[in-house]
Amino acid sequence: MGGYARFVWPCFGFACTVLAWNLWSARRFHAAARQRAGRTLAMSDEN
Amino acid sequence: MWTWFYRLASPPHVYRVAATLIPWFLTAAAFAIGYGAIAGLVFAPPDYQQGDAFRIIYVHAPSGWISMFAYSTMAVAGAIGLIWRIKMGHAVAAAVAPIGASFTVLALVTGSLWGRPMWGTYWAWDPRLTSELILLFLFAGVMSLRPAFEDSNRGDRAAALLSIVGVVNVPIIHYSVLWWNSLHQGATVAKLGKPSMPPSMLLPLLSMMLGFMCFFGAVLCMRLRGEVLNRERQATWVREAIKS
């Protein structure tokens, strides 16, 4: 990397981290919403 | 003619369409980012002035572009929610905010890592850098404003208003390098004449931009599905949707 490796690789590494975090948090957000919706429906069935 | 527009206002329709789009967006993103990263890191020649440090552009430029695109999307969606009282507009705006904020952080961090070898400093109060930092604060403001209200409708309206007011920052970011003396280099790809890059450097960049765009679409669809469920959890269609 012509002496610039310590700048280039951290950029690509951080980009991978941000992309992975986005995927993980979006999946988690949807799963939590599903669970909440399931609980709400179960409670309304009980009532 | 407006049927498609009104169908977009239907939560079950949005929930279903988003689920269909996710695998397509993710597959396209994987191919485009995979090609762009390999071609950008391995096959593109070093820049004659910046050497190999220019390769940072392959993550910096797409993330900066997505940050502006995300903010504009949030403002347009907020305006749709505010003007036409379409709930899905507010749902889209809420789903976009954290994604846009994360890409803004990525643009700032990679820009800073590029600045150190090129300008000799990680940070300068340069118009482009400062306006991009303001964009991050705007995302943070919109994200914290929405849950600050007990009435979620008021929170949605306040967040939409802030995002619409803040959209003035987007052209400022884009044109800051032309309007003021800036350390930041001028436009490389979006030039009216011809891009100042050879195809061997430009193609990986365009591929990364397309890949980031598709990735943004996929993550937006995922978050939007969650947002729709949160807002519609009392609705009868949700029962069928969460069973499948």
pLDDT tens per residue, range B136-177:
999 999 999 999 998 989 999 999 999 999 999 999 998 888
| Closest to B143 (Cα-Cα) out of B103, B94, B87, B107 | B94
pLDDT of residue B193: 59
Inform me whether the pLDDT recorded for B9 exceeds 90.
no
Partners of A18 on chain B (C-beta within 8 Å) are: 63, 102-103, 105-106
Q: Could B225 and A3 be called an inter-chain contact, meaning their C-beta atoms sit closer than 8 Å?
A: no
Question: Which of B33, B102, B237 to mutate: most A Cβ within 10 Å?
Answer: B102
In angstroms, the Cα distances linking B179 to B184, B186, B193 are: 12, 11, 19
Q: List all residues 6 or more positions away from B224 whose beta carbon is below 8 Å from its beta carbon.
A: B14, B18, B91, B92, B95
Mean residue pLDDT of chain B comes to 90
The per-residue pLDDT for range B13-43, each reduced to its tens digit, is 999 999 999 999 999 999 999 999 999 999 9
Q: How far apart are CA B190 and CA B84, in angstroms?
A: 33
The per-residue pLDDT for range B37-67, each reduced to its tens digit, is 999 999 988 888 888 889 999 999 999 999 9
B48 DSSP 8-state letter: T
Inform me whether the pLDDT recorded for B103 exceeds 60.
yes
Q: Could B222 and A30 be called an inter-chain contact, meaning their C-beta atoms sit closer than 8 Å?
A: yes
Inform me whether the pLDDT recorded for B191 exceeds 60.
no
pLDDT of residue B215: 98
pLDDT of residue B187: 67
The per-residue pLDDT for range A11-42, each reduced to its tens digit, is 999 999 999 999 999 999 999 999 998 888 88
**pTM of the model as a whole:** 0.92
What ipTM describes this predicted complex? Answer: 0.93
Only one residue has tokens 């404003």, namely B145
Helical axes B127-145 vs B169-179, angle rounded to 10°: 170
Partners of B46 on chain A (C-beta within 8 Å) are: 2
In angstroms, the Cα distances linking A20 to A23, B82, B90, B215, B219 are: 5, 33, 25, 11, 10
Q: How far apart are CA B122 and CA B113, in angstroms?
A: 6
Torsion of CA B131, B132, B138, B144, to 10 degrees: -150
Q: How far apart are CA B42 and CA B55, in angstroms?
A: 10
B4-18, B35-49, B201-215: lowest mean pLDDT where? B4-18
Q: How far apart are CA B25 and CA B213, in angstroms?
A: 9
Collect all residues from B whose CB is shorter than 8 A from any CB in A: 33, 37, 41, 46, 51-53, 55-56, 58-60, 63, 98-99, 102-103, 105-106, 109-110, 113-114, 116-117, 215, 219, 222-223, 225-227, 229-230, 232-234, 238-239, 242
What is chain B's length?
Answer: 244
Q: Which among A4, A15, A40 has the least Cβ separation from residue B234?
A: A40
CA angle in degrees (0–180, nearest 5) for B161-B165-B166: 115
